[in-house]
Structure 1
Amino acid sequence: MPFLPKMRVARPSDNLEALLQFYKQGLGFEVLARFDDHDGFDGIILGHPNAPYHLEFTKAHGEVVGRAPSQDHLLVFYLPEQSTWTDAVNTMKLAGFDPVPSFNPYWDKVGLTFQDPDGYRVVFQCAEWNR
C-alpha cells in the first residue's frame, strides 16, 4: 500500500456497557462515536483521536453472540518503557480488572494479560515491536 491506512477492529458483543468500562477506564480509550438503532445495531467506537486504529463494538438487536471462542484471541499493546507499562497495568487494576494467566505462556514472560467482559484478551507487553 502506498500509504498507511487507519485500522478499525470491529467485533459484536452482548455487553456494550461492560466493554465501555473495560476499554475506557482500563485502557484509557475515549468514546469516538456512539450510535443507537442504526439499521438494527447499537454500537460504540473507542480509541484515541490521533491513533491510527480504533475499536468498534456492536450489538445487533435480537442477536446473541456469546463469549470469545478461545482464550487466545488477543489485542497486544507493546509498551517498551517500563514506567509506561507499569502505569498501564496499574490503571487497569485500579479500574477493577486483574491480570489472568495467558493461554500462551509467551505473553507472561514480559507482559500481563487482562480479559474483557466478553472473554477476549488484551496483553500489555513490556517490549519493543521490532518488525
Structure 2
Amino acid sequence: MRMRTARHVTALEPMRYFYVHLLEMHEIGGFVDHNGYDGMILGSPEGNWQIEFTVSQDKPEHHFDEDDLIVLYYEAAKYDAVIEKLTAENYVTFTPKNPYWVVNGNLYKDPEGFGVMVVNESKMDR
C-alpha cells in the first residue's frame, strides 16, 4: 500500500523551506498550472508515502484542531540535526494536547499553523 495526503496551502515556498530544508524531507515531484494548481510532492525514497502541498487562486479554509498532527519519526542522528536547525531558526515548541506526545516528541507548527511532531524514534515510550 502507498499513501498520499494532500493539503491546500497559502504559499509553497515557506512550506518547502520548512519541510525540505528544516525537516529534511525529500521533494520528489511537483507541478505548475495543473488545472489551476501548483504543487510540490514530498515523499520517502522508498515511495510508500507522500505529502502534497498545493496552491491555487482559492485560499485554504482549514478547520483543524490541536490533535491534527503530522508525526515524523527520526533516527537519533537525524533527529538531533533537525532539532538543531529548528532551534537555530527560532522555532518554538508547543505543548501537545495529547499527553502521549508531551513525553514522546517536540511539537512545532508549520508555516500554515499545523502541528508537526518531531520524534526521536529511539527514545519513544511505547
TM-score (norm 2): 0.81
Whole-angstrom CA distance in 2 between matches of 1:78 and 1:69: 22
Is 1:115–2:109 an aligned residue pair? yes
Is 1:40–2:36 an aligned residue pair? yes
Give the conservation status (yes or no) of the 8 Å contact 1:71–1:119: no
Give the conservation status (yes or no) of the 8 Å contact 2:6–2:53: yes
Residue 48 of structure 2: aligned partner:
52
Whole-angstrom CA distance in 2 between matches of 1:38 and 1:70: 30
Residue 97 of structure 1: aligned partner:
91
Give the conservation status (yes or no) of the 8 Å contact 2:104–2:125: no
**1:51 Cα deviation from its structure 2 partner:** 4.4
Give the AA of the match of 2:6.
Answer: A
Equivalent runs, 1:1-131 vs 2, <5 Å: 5-60=1-56, 62-67=57-62, 69-79=64-74, 82-127=76-121
TM-score (norm 1): 0.78
Whole-angstrom CA distance in 2 between matches of 1:18 and 1:12: 13
**1:8 Cα deviation from its structure 2 partner:** 0.9
**How many residue pairs were aligned?**
125
**1:104 Cα deviation from its structure 2 partner:** 2.2
Return 107-116 or 67-76, whichever deviates more.
Answer: 67-76
Return 35-44 or 51-60, whichever deviates more.
Answer: 51-60
**1:127 Cα deviation from its structure 2 partner:** 4.2
1:72-125, Cα deviation, whole Å (9 max, x unpaired) = 21111234x544433332233335433222222321112101110111111122
Give the conservation status (yes or no) of the 8 Å contact 1:68–1:118: no
- The answer for unaligned runs of 5 or more in structure 2 is none
- The answer for unaligned runs of 5 or more in structure 1 is none
- Identical columns (%): 30
Q: Give the structure with the higher percent helix.
A: 2
**1:32 Cα deviation from its structure 2 partner:** 1.1
